Amino acid sequence: MTTKFTKTLAAALIGAAILTAPAMAAGQLSINFTPTDPDQQQALGAGLQIFSLVKGLSATGANASQNGNNNGAGFNQNGWGNHGLIVQEGNGHQGTIQQNGNGNNCGLFQFGENTNGQCVQNGNGQSSLTTVFGF
């Protein structure tokens, strides 16, 4: 039920954003997923760590993978066992991850042009995924 609702909500939000944006507008569309169930948080965190390893990065600490020009990535981690991942494809992206606590996982993925995304986690054992599309 939750998966169906989440997919329906995501589709509605994307559809509304497309309908309200003028054809030549410059901007960004952000989609965030933060599970509230502990098992889902753990699964998302493990997935982000595996993705980092496949990309040749570390499964712990702060990681950035950038393909393009004029991109910036920043991290602030306070605690232990935190994992932050920023992936930027395109030009002019700015991304930051701030984690205060222990055992947190955050993935920030930015595509297109000139996006500005962030992930802030305060507490323990949280996982989230944010995808930003710039146009």
Look up the pTM and report it. Answer: 0.81
**8 A C-beta contact, residue 52 and residue 83:** yes
Q: What kind and span of H or E run contains 83?
A: strand 83-91
For the chain, the structural domain boundaries read 28-134
| pLDDT tens sequence for the chain (135 residues) | 445 544 544 444 455 444 444 444 579 999 999 999 999 999 999 999 999 999 999 999 999 999 999 999 999 999 999 999 999 999 999 999 999 999 999 999 999 999 999 999 999 999 999 999 999
Q: Which long-range CB contacts under 8 A does 90-95 form with residues at least 24 apart?
A: 90/115, 90/134, 92/68, 92/134, 93/66, 93/68, 93/117, 93/132, 93/134, 95/64, 95/71
